Amino acid sequence: MPTTSREGTIELTLRIYNNRFMTRHKSFINLLILMVFIGIGLFSPLAVAKTQIQQLRLSLNGDMTRVVIDLSAPARLSAQLYENPDRVEIHVPGAAWAAPGFTPGDASVVREFEANGENITLLLRRQATIANVFSLAPDGPRPDRLVIDLKPSTPAEYATKLGEATPLNPAVRKAGSIEKVIGTLQDKSEQKKNVLREKTKTVEKTPEIEKTAAVEKSEPALKAPPAKKPLVVIDAGHGGQDPGAIGRNGAREKDITLSVARRLRDALLESKKYRVVMVRDKDVYLKLAERVAVAQRNKADLFISLHADTVGQDSDPDLTHGASIYTISDQASDEVSARLAARENKADLIGGKPDLASGAVGTILLDLLNQETMMRSKDFAAAIANGFTGHKIVMLRRPLRSAGFAVLKGADFPSVLIEMGFLSSNKDGNLLQQKDYQQRLAVAIVAGVDDFFASDKLASLSE
């Protein structure tokens, strides 16, 4: 019974030479085959992940540190900078870590790394920004590779790039080697220079002032730079020492919000319409004011805070289920919203200090909020509700609500807090742990983001 294995595909070939034996023992052989495949499914890491991270390598080119990730198959990647400590968070969806460990050299900006499944953390020796992110196709003995170039930066430069997701450069994939990539980029640069040279020559051949207008008409206009993509900041509620709500089955709010946030980030980036910043991309604790500060520092166009709460003892948990979307208000739209806001605003007490955006300061910030921004937030909430309806996401009877959530205070951009469901409800709790439902939530939110930008007048003016 020879067995061959390659690229995660198991080929099982049975050669039967005795038909009489096969007929007599057919049931036993079928059972044996079934047990073999069950064993493969349970114990083979290849069955869990299609792509394996085979090796992580570092190389130096001048002051640039190049990070190369060897893969068993093509994969996507996004990379983000964070502080406290300074680090690069790398996310390779659907990949599994199967690489040996190594110690980075003293010359590189990377001092050590941590790996957990599809997530890699590069701890930085000194601050550096992400200069390039691209993939390389197999080239001879070299496998599929993901490449990240890190360039030493000033503190000011580093601060402007914090949390901004850097996706793959899709134009580089065809090149099989790094030398070809450099050649491709140089060719494009040379083409641009040639265009400028030709334009300069044409103008020099027409020196007469009265002919200037004719030259301008005959010359093709330089293409305007593309409009900057809107920046969406995603806040996965709670984290670290703050688990958030805990469901009947032990599900923790902080785990669910982070999982959906990652799916939402990937869906937004895949649309190629948006830039994305994650407030947190791992299990860390952040104060409410720090979450808003990330969005403000990066000049967000939209802010989305994800949550999954529980109802109080005076409510029937089995009757209260479904998603809802909140906007900021100095007065809660209903009693349930007031209780939810009060509970969420206590999150900072876990860290030992009260939130500076609450109390009197929070009231002042709220008074200073632009009324236009508050109206746009309500439009954004309505667009998300439409996206939920279109993707069959169950919502509360009145899904659009408002309350004084501290995480939404002081924002000068459209902001919403999405309660994806109630962990106190068995129905919601089970749904929110299902990967396909989490993906449906992410896609529905993207539909809402698309809808909002398609109809928002201020967004179209800024472009």
| pLDDT reported for residue 228 | 81
| pLDDT reported for residue 433 | 95
If phi > 0 it is left, if psi is from -120 to 50 it is alpha, else beta; for residue 421 that is: left
Q: Where are the alpha helices (DSSP H) in 205-334?
A: 212-218, 253-270, 288-297
pLDDT one-digit tens code per residue, 338-368: 455 455 544 444 444 444 333 443 443 444 4
Looking at residue 312, its amino acid is: G
| pLDDT reported for residue 181 | 44
| pLDDT reported for residue 35 | 53
| pLDDT reported for residue 280 | 94
Question: What is the sign of the dihedral through the CA atoms of 126, 129, 131 and 136?
Answer: positive
The whole-angstrom separation of Cα 59 and Cα 105 is 9
Among candidates 145, 72, 87, which has minimal Cα distance to 119? 87
| pLDDT reported for residue 330 | 55
| pLDDT reported for residue 222 | 37
Orientation angle between helical segments 435-455 and 253-270, nearest 10 degrees = 50
The whole-angstrom separation of Cα 197 and Cα 189 is 13
Per-residue pLDDT of the chain (463 residues; tens, 9 = 90+): 444 444 443 333 334 344 444 444 555 555 555 554 445 444 444 444 478 888 888 887 777 888 989 988 988 888 899 888 899 999 888 888 888 776 676 667 898 888 888 889 999 989 999 988 888 888 777 888 988 989 999 888 888 888 887 777 665 554 444 444 444 444 444 444 444 444 444 433 434 333 333 333 333 333 444 568 999 999 999 999 999 999 888 899 999 999 999 999 999 999 999 999 999 999 999 888 888 888 888 889 999 999 998 876 445 555 578 999 988 765 544 454 445 545 554 444 444 444 433 344 344 344 444 567 788 888 999 999 999 999 999 999 889 887 656 655 556 789 899 999 999 888 999 999 999 999 999 999 999 999 999 987 555 434 4
